[in-house]
Amino acid sequence: MKKYGVKPDPETLDILNCVAREKAIVVVTKIYWGDPREKICEAIDKIPLSCLIIGNRGLGRIKRALLGSVSNYVVNNGTCPVTVVKNGDQHEG
């Protein structure tokens, strides 16, 4: 984080630490630069992860076709189980 001048959000870190303690899980925070699809799959192997939970922006079909879906790519190419959490407020269009 220091190398790229990225400052962590204290509130987010506090939430992660609290949940990690309650659920007895390990939360890993890393920053990778580049194509998110490739970098997330790379991180799965480098860390290594036993599982990954990834969000979904809820792009419509047209935007998803043009931009591609990071979560879909990771589900199909990642080497660990991947759970996709969809935003309940988004409607497909």
Query: What is the per-residue pLDDT for 67?
Result: 53
Calpha distance 51→80 (Å, rounded): 5
pLDDT tens string, the chain, 93 residues long: the values are: 677 787 878 898 898 889 899 999 888 778 888 999 999 999 999 999 999 988 887 666 666 665 568 888 999 999 999 998 877 665 544
- Quote the CA–CA distance of 52 and 81 in Å, as a whole number: 6
Based on the domain organization, do 12 and 47 belong to the same domain?
A: no
The secondary structure element, H or E, covering residue 86 is strand 82-86
47 and 16 in a single domain? The answer is no
Q: Are 64 and 81 members of one domain? A: yes
Q: How far apart are CA 14 and CA 4, in angstroms?
A: 22
Q: Is residue 71 located within the same domain as residue 54? A: yes
Identify whether residues 41 and 84 lie together within a single domain: yes
Number of domains in the chain: 2
Q: Quick check: 57 and 87 in contact, CB under 8 A?
A: yes
Rg (CA), the chain: 15
Give the separation between CA 40 and CA 82, rounded to whole angstroms: 11
- Segments forming the whole domain that contains residue 72: 36-88
- Domain assignment present for 54: yes
pTM listed for this prediction: 0.68
